[in-house]
Amino acid sequence: MLCHMAVVAITSSSLKNARRYIEVMESAGADVRVLIPDDHTESTTEVMMRDVGGLLLCGGPDIDPSLYGEKPDPDAGLDLNRPLDDLELRILDYALGHDMPVLAICRGMQLLNVSFGGKLIQDLPNHRSTKIDVKWVPASHTIYIAPGAKSAPIIGMAGFFKVNSLHHQGLKEAQRAPRLMTTAYEVDDGLIEGLESPEHSWVIGLQCHPERQDEVPKSFNNLFLGLHERAETFIAELAA
């Protein structure tokens, strides 16, 4: 019997944007396939997801507000990429339909919420990078990860963590899709920092950027190791 290696699919607006995610997944031992809208306008979902055992939705541009029933706020400074929205929603729908492990980071967590019928706050102050001299420095804040979160045993513990903050969109409980569960929040303002799907085996969303490894606790790297491990299990169970 042929043994297929599990591939982790990474969706991104560009190869450059995907670079850090590729590096952390390859360091975790995974083979990766980067899915970019320009390369896959004609590809079927089945072709793109062949031999894929896990999905990583990464950070990137803003999600088109029309996807959650709102008009773009002209003052929000939105950077939209509708082809990426459409590609990711299609890929995510496939992954969820097959109960494939999904790790959704920043924009990815926001897309997860929208795909389940939730909304977003189009612009949030004080959550993005600031320019100090010539260098962009990400904001940071303290989040609380609940003991019942699936991410907690993967990271190694629940509780309070200092993490980076590089987003200007997000959600609170009023915007959360009812079928998703809040598993982490920001201590100061109650922004949701973690979402999970109780309907699926391993669907984890985080608002922070654990791929920027020097800006989060070292134990957050376990999320990428965990995704690779679950992807291997997913492919092995398909082959059995």
Parallel, antiparallel, or unpaired for β 192-196 and 159-165?
A: unpaired
Q: Is the pLDDT of residue 104 over 90?
A: yes
Q: Is the pLDDT of residue 2 over 90?
A: no
CA distance 49 to 100: 11
With cut-offs at 50, 70 and 90, classify the pLDDT of residue 130: low
Residue 209 a catalytic site member: yes
Point out the catalytic residue in the list 196, 211, 215, 229.
Answer: 211
Pick the more confident residue, 152 or 189: 152
CA distance 106 to 47: 26
CA distance 117 to 88: 15
Point out the catalytic residue in the list 127, 141, 167, 209.
Answer: 209
Q: Is the pLDDT of residue 165 over 60?
A: yes
With cut-offs at 50, 70 and 90, classify the pLDDT of residue 128: low
Residue-range domains of the chain with CATH: 7-239 (3.40.50.880)
Q: What percent of the chain has a predicted confidence (pLDDT) above 90?
A: 83
Contacts of residue 91, defined as CB under 8 A and 6 or more positions apart, other chains included, come to 9, 11, 35, 45, 48, 49, 55
User: Per residue in 25-81, pLDDT tens?
Assistant: 999 999 999 999 987 667 899 999 999 999 999 999 999 999 999 999 999 989 999
Average pLDDT score over residue span 150-175: 95
Q: What percent of the chain has a predicted confidence (pLDDT) above 70?
A: 92
Residue 106 a catalytic site member: yes
Point out the catalytic residue in the list 88, 106, 186, 193.
Answer: 106
Residue 168 a catalytic site member: no
Distance of CA 38 to the CA centre of its chain: 20
CA distance 59 to 238: 29
DSSP string, 117-183: T---BS--TT-S-EEETTEEE-EEEEEEE-TT-THHHHHT--EEEEEEE--S-B--GGGS-TTSEEE
pLDDT at 42: 72
